[in-house]
Amino acid sequence: MYLTVEHATKTFGPFVALDDVSIAIEKGEFVCLLGPSGCGKTTLLRIIAGLAETDSGVVTIEGETLSNQPARKRGFGIVFQSYSLFPNMTVAENIGYGLRIRGAANDQIAARVRELLELVKLPQLADKFPSQLSGGQQQRIALARAIAVDPRVLLLDEPLSALDAKVRADLRSEIRQLQRTLGIPTLMVTHDQEEALALADKIICMNHGTVVQAGTPEDLYHRPETRFVADFMGTSNLIETDVIRRVQPDLLQTRPDAPDADYIACIRPEHIELTPDADGTATVREISFLGNLKRIELDSPLGPLLVETHGAGGFSPGDKLALGIAPEHCVWVRDDVIGAAA
């Protein structure tokens, strides 16, 4: 364990923003903190950075407790969503600021700034002011500034969410590449599951101030433990136990032994096989074409279903189909979403 947060709790008045949260980051790991708005991601990040205090719980790095260390002594790097560059300093001064504070020599700073500007592919901007840069450029500079001092941990709070789609995709892969080459342990906050899936070695999924599930992107996508995670990580078909029992009882094999209401079946849209069959039980309602795949909405004894298929199969609305669902593709998740039965 390189960096850990243990049993962190944080309240704002009566409101519990973090409720006994524990997380860990390994050396060189890229971890995404994922969750809906207001679930406490930023709060957790700020606690790690030292910008906020916990009510209880500790942050440690390489076994050393950080609780009494102010943010400026921690040697971390941070990038916010926006507005964090120093408006009255040039790009070069911004990037060199951390080194200047540490008393580095001028030529050393200049060399490092040049190197970082190359790294983020903006060597021509050294003498510009932040207000003269586009949003994407600003974020690149903020990134360069954060890694200039070889931080022990890099903290990113939704660094991409203020950018438009194309810039976001470009910068996303660059961040990933940069992090891989430099090997800086990185914690990135995001509420975009696609971003998390694409970037992370490990995803920590949060909801209502608690960690719901942590694991690799594959874990969270293919083996969600709760209904919240299944829902949040991409689309899924969620089907109640009694419906499965009635329509396709073989899927019950993998179900944990628990009352009906506790678990619900989760079947990803790409795991349902469709075969044209005049006596089939399912009917095509609507088809949308998404370039590389087709999204098909069905009416079936299991209820309305969403299926994604690649290429082949010229279905049209009204067609009868037979469904094929393998038991290993039916994941049983705990129903943690209150009062929202399908």
Partner 1 sequence: MTDKTLPRGTSGAPPARFDGDKALALVCVGVPLIGLVLFFLYPMAIVFLRSITTVDGEYGLSNYAEVLGSSGFWRATRHSMIMGGATTLLSVVLGFIIAHGLYRCAFRGKRLIRAVIVLPLLAPSLVQALGLIFLLGRNGVVNQLFGVEMEIYGFWGLLIANTLYALPQAVMIIGAALVLLDARTYEAAEVMGASPMRQFRDLTLPAARFGILNAAFVVFIITITDFGNAAVIGGDYSVLATEIYSQVIGQRNFNMGAVVGIMLLLPTVAAYYIERRAMRLQGRHPVNAQRFVPRFTPARDLPMAGLNLLICLAVLSVIAIVFYASFVRLWPYNMSLTLKHYDITLAGGYSSLWITIWISLAAAAGGTFLVFLLAVGLRRAPAMLAQPLQVLAAMPAAVPGMVLGLAYILTFNSTATPLYLLYGTAALIGIVNFYHYHTQAFLTVMTGFRQLPSALEEAAGSLGAGLGRVAVNIIAPFVAPMLISVFFFLFMRSMVTLSAVVFLTTPDLSVAAVTIMRLDDAGLTSQAAAFSCCVMAVVAAALLGMKAILAYLGRNAGTGSDG
CB of 307 to ligand ATP, least distance (A): 31
Q: By CB under 6 A, how many residues form the interface with ligand ATP?
A: 12
175-214 positions binding ligand ATP, by CB under 6 A? 191
Give the residue with the Cβ less far from partner 1, 72 or 166: 72
At 64, list the tokens.
């050393």
Residues that bind partner 1 (CB under 8 A): 49-51, 70-78, 80, 82-89, 97-98, 101-102, 131, 142, 145-146, 149, 155
Half-sphere exposure of 66 (CA within 13 A, CB side): 28
**Options 33-41, 127-135, 221-229, 234-242: segment touching ligand ATP (CB under 6 A):** 33-41
Burial of 257 from C-beta contacts in 10 A (0-12 / 13-18 / 19+): exposed
Taking CB under 5 A as the rule, does residue 94 contact Mg ion? no
**Options 37-45, 54-62, 232-240, 241-249: segment touching ligand ATP (CB under 6 A):** 37-45
**Binding partner of residue 17 among Mg ion, partner 1, ligand ATP, none, CB under 5 to 8 Å per kind?**
ligand ATP
CB of 161 to partner 1, least distance (A): 12
Q: By CB under 5 A, how many residues form the interface with Mg ion?
A: 1
Give the residue with the Cβ less far from ligand ATP, 39 or 199: 39
What phi, psi does 215 have (nearest 5°)? Answer: 170, -175
CB of 94 to ligand ATP, least distance (A): 24
CB of 250 to partner 1, least distance (A): 52
Give the residue with the Cβ less far from Mg ion, 43 or 213: 43
43-62 positions binding ligand ATP, by CB under 6 A? 43
**Binding partner of residue 43 among ligand ATP, Mg ion, partner 1, none, CB under 5 to 8 Å per kind?**
ligand ATP
Q: Which residues pair with 296 in a beta bridge?
A: 287, 307
CB of 203 to ligand ATP, least distance (A): 15
**Binding partner of residue 71 among partner 1, ligand ATP, Mg ion, none, CB under 5 to 8 Å per kind?**
partner 1
The total of other beta-carbon atoms located within 10 Å of residue 335's CB is 21
Distance CA 241, CA 251 (A): 10
Taking CB under 6 A as the rule, does residue 34 contact ligand ATP? no
CB of 19 to ligand ATP, least distance (A): 11
Tell me whether strands 154-157 and 186-190 are parallel, antiparallel or unpaired. parallel
**Binding partner of residue 38 among Mg ion, partner 1, ligand ATP, none, CB under 5 to 8 Å per kind?**
ligand ATP
Q: In what order do the strands lie in the sheet with 331-334?
A: 237-240, 263-267, 331-334
At 318, list the tokens.
């009204």
Q: Which residues pair with 273 in a beta bridge?
A: 324
The amino acid at 222: H
Residue in 21, 39, 47, 200 binding ligand ATP, rule: CB under 6 A: 39
Give the residue with the Cβ less far from ligand ATP, 15 or 289: 15
Q: Rg (Cα) of the chain, in Å, rounded?
A: 24
Residue in 3, 8, 17, 156 binding ligand ATP, rule: CB under 6 A: 17
**Residue of 240, 231, 246 lying closest to 259 (CA atoms):** 240
Distance CA 272, CA 84 (A): 46
Distance CA 216, CA 202 (A): 4
The amino acid at 291: G
Taking CB under 6 A as the rule, does residue 38 contact ligand ATP? yes
23-42 positions binding Mg ion, by CB under 5 A? 42
Positions in the binding site for ligand ATP (CB under 6 A): 12, 15, 17, 35, 37-43, 191
